[in-house]
Amino acid sequence: MAISLASLKRSSALSSPRILVHGVAGVGKSTFASAAPNPVFILTEDGLGTLDIPHFPLARSFDEVMEALAALYSEDNDFRTVVIDSVDWLEPLIWARACKDNGWKSIEDPGYGKGYVAALDLWRQYIDGLNALRDEKGLTIIQIAHTEIKRFDSPEHDPYDRYIIKLHARAAALLQEHSDAVLFANYRISTVKSDVGFNKKVTRALGSGERVLYSAERPAFLAKNRYGLPDVLPLSWDAFASAMPQFQAQS
């Protein structure tokens, strides 16, 4: 088909969101995702606890994850959300498949980061599967990840620590690029300085137990969104959905 100005399109239709949630252990990421509309979980770790949610058997290979995505695509169902719990436990399954395909003993075998580059092809297959469910079946995509603290060497400031997604840097960048919202879940913490005498002060952390969701990047953590969300929300699906244009349109 020839491309011309007549082929320009303009649409206000809102696609289902692709959400990546990372956060500290036990903060409630799976609970948050379980409250999404009619969810089904693809598990790479046994992290549901007491949550009574439809889920596939624990995936022990990359192929099993892809088979679950294919089943959701090809078989009739009324699910509206697919949750991957978690992508950092999916990563070693991807590495194992890359090693099998290439005859490596470990992902480090080829050297110079070549193993991680090869793994990106499998990550892209996985992302294509998610996008097919979103674009053709209308499913909301939620990927859950753990977080870790690493030093960030800023070109403008002294190095500092920040929370990042617990994945190899190449994979983390790919998943962030293909997400409409990267959300950081944590407990709200404030600090106070206390006088301990002898003109010395110590900084103490105070936590109320409140769990929050950050949608905009800060020096301390990675986050982004394409929806103009508030910078901070309660870690609650209802609070998140009420701020999302897609879910407002459905209510």
Predicted pLDDT at 135:
95
Predicted pLDDT at 196:
46
Predicted pLDDT at 10:
65
Predicted pLDDT at 200:
58
Report residues of the chain scoring pLDDT below 50. Answer: 190-192, 194, 196, 201-206, 249, 251
- Does the pTM exceed 0.85? yes
Task: Provide CB contacts within 8 A for 170, sequence distance 6+.
Answer: 113, 116, 117, 119, 120
- pLDDT tens digit sequence for 87-99: 999 999 999 999 9
Long-range contacts of 45-50 (CB under 8 A, 24+ apart): 45/85, 45/86, 45/89, 47/85, 47/86, 48/85
- Provide the 3-class DSSP secondary structure of residue 74: helix
Contact status, residue 72 vs residue 82, Cβ threshold 8 Å: yes
Token digits of residue 172: 């983390």
- Provide the 3-class DSSP secondary structure of residue 65: helix
For the chain, give percent helix, strand, coil, nearest 5. Answer: 35, 30, 35
Predicted pLDDT at 1:
59
For the domain made up of 16-185+213-250, give the CATH fold.
Rossmann fold (3.40.50)
**Cα distances (angstroms) measured from residue 42 to each of 70, 126, 129, 230:** 12, 12, 13, 29
- pLDDT tens digit sequence for 32-86: 999 999 999 999 998 787 889 999 999 999 999 999 999 999 999 999 999 999 9
